[in-house]
């Protein structure tokens, strides 16, 4: 849904805390006599003393080492540092004000690991080192003590300062010094990094550099990553909906040819800039944290693999939620297929028509969604009595369900009642229970969103969960019998600045008008002036491709410069350090920073957690409404630990080829953040799509965890049945997706139980191949499925790299033929329209569905198949996890192990869950033609062999997967 109401701005007189700051000038705050220097050059740093060591770490005091510099706030003279060796692989370093006045994330929001009961101080792979005066610390590996530290704040390890601005128009991009700064409104710490090292994470962001962050080498300009949740339509290189201050460093040793990974989490909700840069003539790169509040709460993860870093992070903030069967499961579970939705299904007849058209086209449809069209006057928890009457909706949902599902939207803003006769129970009960965010004077904070004047839930209120649960429960009683919930605009987004409804004539308000009914943009290389609005690839037999031979295949959407913090006319007045917020003022398009929450919290401190807290409350509410079942949630704004409660879609993207490419990096990012159920709005949300782009994108998204076709109101319809070629591409790709459901389900079970990422960048599996470190136009599903999509218009081939440098056999998913791949370089693959290249890794064994049905329910009724791809040594290994896919907490399960050695496949089965479906077909690739095949020691007659693909197929096996089993060939 639109992030902002375009064209609507409000000129208001804001209530401002303090004076206006200007970078490079003295600043007096709240009329005090203490000027802010706006420069850290003279900041004295700290001295360590009163050290106390223990079995789990150490505690010490840090004292300001000289006169206060008061750079962007008031220096805090007394700090405490606590170092905890949390495990063999995790080290916790927390620096906080001894008086405990700075904001710290409450345990009620994010539960931290318990204090360790064993001592790891002498065995952890991570070692905390420090200098007392001036205080600095660095983290090394016990296993490699002579290597450059993983994190190093010593001035001697960093470049000499001052360093002039790397963007001359923005003075804040200078590095005046690298002291430890801890002020009430500004905290700074800097670490050296190996020159040009590989950094991933620090999102949410649409990064022009790709999945690998720009660190200022190899022609790059460096990165300023701002963390301040903002509801805007997917700008490039700016802060976005969520904040995830964690990164993975993948460090390659060119001498040994080996790489290792580590991770760093700053668990802070404060607005911040995180800078990645390599100053001129420097032998090192650096990362600098600049925060406008809170404390320094670091967790360090030793890896040494990327998947292990991600899992170690998950052990701190929590593993991802268990997805329900219908959302991502298979037989006798279910799994997400295509979820179709648009803003602009204006009534229930549109919904019915869409479901019927998808069925007629033979394109699987698992979930029907509704946006704010569903609501009465755009009010949450209502239905329009004319367009979506409750009795018809109640009838439609089970019928449309038919083993399908229904998900409505819930926006964050709750409308206020306009007068005494206006009845709207969610707001009224919320007032009675005192659950809405307030102004500093205690009055309701009233903003403006789609319904008109609105309030926002205060998730810190002790009564908020009961009000939220009651509102959702009443909605189901009205006929909206949802299967899951889609949470939108929960940064939160507003259409005015500050509490614009305070003192306003509320009775004159009402729902806002959608001003975006005409959408004019089209994808690159489609010229609607020449070819009209259809978006077709051909018209009267003529191609509509409109790019010349020398034309670029992707346009670059204009982005704000890194100098946005110093732009003229941008009001960044609180706090004194101006983070590089894409919207300018922190109070623009969201709650004012002085909005007040229960417990006395200000929004400045808790802003980035709003989405997380809504997700947690909604998850718990659905558990209450549907006890014993797993909730399904998709949300826009996220924060560390959000994956425990929700999945994520990548927001309001654009119908551009460039954004289809960005889809990949977004999904890879969120694997790091422990939110694996993620995907983009397929075919694009903003602007019009066209046939070719939608064809390619429908294929791409079939191999992503979250799969939804979704676009804006007024845009060209993009349901896959609108174009025959898109319908065909969708059927092919979804058939492959459905076949792979048991594999997907196992990957997500591993995520929920151990924090392992279901989707991987290629170097996650092949860490010692530097040519893979920047690859983000391909990805791996698990360890064994390689996907190489077409990302440019007019293409009939695609370039892709096959990892392994010739040591791995890659086989085509569709034909099972071995790929003749270039070692360490790109291979050209045929990619006609409606075809996406998918390849199977050797040494793998994949449990599949033998015959995909129209829905997951129909699919799960059929038998299983097993696809084995042998390596050159004739071995293979795989596993599968099966349970009922709906119970929460999860009930009985069964684990299957598939192993091939010496011409024998062994299947081992453990667990209490009874699998009803049989294993009917076993396909083994890479087999020399056998003369005999035996099953459980008895000869098998029903087998075939294909010489060209070295393919052995055993059919009609009827293997019981609840026991042990062998298949042999010789």
Contact call for residues 967 and 933 (beta carbons, < 8 A): yes
From 491, 524, 603, 690, active-site residue: 491
User: Exposure pattern of 654-692 as b/e (b: 16+ CB <10 Å)?
Assistant: bbbbbbbbbbbbbbbbbbbbbbbbbbbbbbbbbbbbbbb
As a whole number of angstroms, the distance between CA 877 and CA 924 comes to: 12
Contacts with 399 (C-beta within 8 Å, 6 or more apart), sequence order:
none
Region of residue 70 (left: phi > 0; alpha: psi -120 to 50; beta: else): left
Q: Look up residue 648 and give its DSSP letter.
A: E
Contacts with 453 (C-beta within 8 Å, 6 or more apart), sequence order:
415, 416, 446, 447, 501, 504, 506, 509
Sheet holding 904-911, edge to edge: 938-939, 933-935, 965-969, 904-911, 893-901, 876-883, 844-849, 864-869, 919-925, 951-954, 943-946
Q: Distance of CA 394 to CAs 404, 406, 475, 476, 827, Å?
A: 14, 11, 11, 9, 53
Identify the bridge partners of residue 301 per DSSP, sorted by sequence position.
Answer: 90, 263
Closest-CA residue to 95 (of 33, 188, 231, 194): 188
Contact call for residues 80 and 584 (beta carbons, < 8 A): no
652 in catalytic set? yes
Residue 49 is inside which H or E element, if any? Answer: strand 46-53
CB atoms closer than 10 angstroms to residue 948: 9
CB atoms closer than 10 angstroms to residue 441: 9
Contact call for residues 262 and 304 (beta carbons, < 8 A): yes
Contacts with 659 (C-beta within 8 Å, 6 or more apart), sequence order:
234, 653, 680, 684
Contact call for residues 924 and 853 (beta carbons, < 8 A): no
Residue 153 is inside which H or E element, if any? Answer: none
From 94, 336, 488, 690, active-site residue: 488
Angle at the Cα of 451 from the Cα atoms of 379 and 271, rounded to 5 degrees = 100
Query: What values do phi and psi take at 43, rounded to 5?
Result: -70, 130
State the DSSP string of 553-612.
Answer: S--------GGGGG-TT----SSSS----TTSSTTTTS--TT-B-TTS-BHHHHGGGHHH
Q: Look up residue 691 and give its DSSP letter.
A: H
Closest-CA residue to 369 (of 336, 330, 405, 403): 405
Closest-CA residue to 16 (of 774, 849, 586): 586
Angle at the Cα of 784 from the Cα atoms of 782 and 787, rounded to 5 degrees = 85
Closest-CA residue to 481 (of 388, 413, 415): 388
Alpha helices in 408-532 (DSSP H): 425-433, 464-477, 528-531
Write down how long the chain is: 970
Region of residue 141 (left: phi > 0; alpha: psi -120 to 50; beta: else): beta
State the DSSP string of 58-80.
Answer: EEEEEEE-SS---SSSPBP-EEE
Cα torsion through 440, 444, 446, 451, rounded to 10 = 160
From 652, 687, 842, 951, active-site residue: 652
Is residue 61 exposed (0-12), middle (13-18) or buried (19+ Cβ within 10 Å)?
A: middle
Beta strand 633-635 with 647-649 is parallel
**Which residues are marked as active site?**
488, 491, 652
């Amino acid at each position: 849904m639109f992030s902002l109401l375009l064209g609507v701005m409000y000129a208001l007189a804001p209530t401002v805390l303090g004076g206006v700051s200007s970078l490079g000038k003295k600043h007096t705050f709240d009329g005090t006599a203490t000027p802010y220097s706006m420069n850290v050059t003279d900041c004295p740093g700290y001295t360590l003393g009163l050290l106390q060591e223990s079995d789990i770490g150490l505690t010490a005091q840090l004292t300001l080492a000289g006169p206060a510099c008061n750079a962007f706030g008031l220096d805090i003279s007394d700090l405490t540092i606590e170092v905890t060796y949390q495990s063999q692989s995790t080290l916790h370093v927390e620096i906080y004000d001894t008086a405990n006045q700075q904001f710290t994330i409450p345990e009620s929001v994010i539960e931290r690991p318990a204090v360790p009961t064993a001592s790891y101080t002498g065995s952890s792979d991570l070692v905390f080192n420090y200098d007392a005066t001036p205080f600095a610390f660095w983290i090394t590996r016990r296993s490699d003590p002579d290597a450059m530290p993983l994190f190093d704040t010593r001035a001697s390890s960093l470049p000499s300062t001052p360093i002039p601005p790397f963007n001359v128009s923005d003075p804040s991009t200078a590095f005046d010094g690298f002291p430890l700064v801890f002020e009430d409104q500004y905290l700074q710490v800097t670490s050296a990094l190996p020159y040009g090292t590989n950094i991933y994470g620090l999102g949410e962001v649409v990064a022009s550099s790709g999945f690998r962050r720009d660190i200022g080498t190899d022609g790059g300009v460096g990165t300023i990553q701002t963390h301040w949740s903002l509801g805007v339509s997917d700008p490039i290189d700016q802060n976005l909906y969520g904040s995830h201050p964690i990164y993975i460093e993948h460090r390659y040793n060119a001498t040994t040819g080996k790489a290792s990974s580590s991770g760093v989490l700053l668990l802070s909700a404060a607005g911040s800039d995180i800078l990645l840069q390599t100053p001129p003539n420097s032998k090192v790169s650096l990362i600098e944290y600049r925060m406008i509040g809170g404390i320094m709460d670091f967790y360090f993860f030793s890896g040494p693999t990327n998947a292990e870093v991600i899992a170690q992070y998950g052990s701190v903030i929590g593993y991802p939620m268990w997805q329900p069967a219908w959302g991502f499961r298979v037989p006798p579970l279910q799994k997400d297929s295509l979820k179709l939705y648009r803003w602009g299904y204006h009534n229930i007849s549109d919904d019915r028509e869409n479901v019927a058209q998808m069925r007629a086209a033979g394109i699987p449809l698992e979930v029907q969604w509704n946006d704010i069209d569903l609501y009465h006057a755009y009010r949450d928890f209502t239905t329009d009595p004319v367009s979506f009457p409750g009795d018809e909706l109640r009838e439609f949902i089970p019928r449309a369900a038919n083993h399908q599902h229904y998900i409505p939207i819930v926006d964050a803003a709750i409308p206020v009642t306009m007068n005494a006769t206006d009845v709207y129970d969610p707001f009224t009960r919320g007032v009675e229970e005192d659950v809405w965010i307030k102004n500093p004077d205690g009055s309701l904070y009233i903003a403006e969103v789609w319904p008109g004047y609105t309030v926002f839930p205060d998730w810190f209120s002790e009564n908020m969960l009961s009000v939220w649960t009651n509102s959702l429960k009443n909605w189901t009683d009205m006929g909206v019998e949802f299967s899951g919930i889609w949470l939108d605009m929960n940064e939160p987004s507003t259409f005015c600045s500050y509490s614009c409804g305070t003192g306003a004539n509320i009775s004159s308000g009402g729902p806002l008008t959608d001003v975006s009914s005409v959408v004019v943009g089209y994808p690159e290389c489609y010229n609607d002036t020449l070819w009209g609005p259809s978006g077709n690839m051909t018209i009267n037999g003529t191609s509509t491709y409109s790019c010349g031979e020398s034309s670029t295949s992707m346009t670059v959407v204009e982005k704000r410069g890194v100098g946005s913090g110093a732009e003229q006319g941008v009001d960044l007045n609180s706090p004194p350090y101006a983070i590089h917020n894409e919207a300018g003022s922190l109070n623009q398009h969201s709650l004012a920073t002085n909005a007040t929450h229960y417990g006395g919290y200000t929004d400045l401190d808790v802003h980035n957690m709003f989405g997380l807290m809504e997700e947690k409350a909604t998850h718990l509410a659905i558990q209450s409404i549907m006890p014993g079942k797993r909730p399904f949630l998709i949300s826009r704004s996220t924060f560390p630990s959000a994956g425990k409660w929700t999945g994520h879609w990548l927001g309001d993207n654009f119908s551009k080829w460039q954004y289809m490419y960005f889809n990949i990096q977004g999904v890879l990012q969120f694997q790091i953040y422990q939110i694996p159920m993620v995907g983009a709005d397929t075919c694009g949300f903003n602007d019009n799509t066209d046939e070719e782009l939608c064809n390619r994108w429908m294929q791409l998204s079939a191999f992503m965890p979250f799969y939804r076709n979704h676009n804006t109101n007024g845009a060209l319809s993009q349901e896959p049945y609108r174009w025959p070629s898109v319908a065909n591409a969708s059927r092919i790709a979804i058939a492959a997706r459905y076949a792979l459901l048991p594999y997907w389900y196992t990957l997500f079970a591993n995520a929920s139980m151990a924090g392992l990422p279901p989707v991987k960048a290629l170097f996650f599996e092949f860490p010692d191949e530097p040519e893979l470190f920047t690859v983000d136009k391909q990805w791996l599903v698990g360890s064994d499925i390689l996907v190489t999509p077409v990302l440019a218009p007019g293409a009939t081939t695609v370039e892709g790299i096959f990892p392994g440098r010739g040591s791995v056999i890659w086989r085509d998913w569709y034909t099972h033929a071995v790929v003749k791949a270039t070692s360490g370089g790109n291979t050209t693959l045929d990619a006609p329209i409606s075809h996406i290249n998918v390849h199977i890794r050797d040494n793998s064994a994949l449990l599949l569905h033998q015959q995909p049905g129209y829905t997951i329910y129909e699919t799960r009724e059929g038998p299983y198949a097993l696809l084995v791809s042998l390596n050159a040594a004739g071995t293979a290994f795989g596993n599968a996890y099966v349970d009922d896919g709906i119970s929460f907490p999860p009930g009985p399960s069964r684990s299957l192990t598939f192993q091939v050695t010496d011409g024998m496949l062994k299947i081992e089965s453990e667990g209490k869950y009874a699998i009803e479906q049989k294993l009917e077909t076993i396909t083994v690739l890479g087999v020399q033609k056998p003369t005999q095949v035996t099953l459980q020691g008895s000869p098998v007659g029903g087998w075939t062999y294909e010489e060209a693909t070295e393919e052995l197929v055993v059919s009609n096996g009827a293997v019981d997967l609840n026991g042990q089993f062998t298949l042999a060939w010789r």
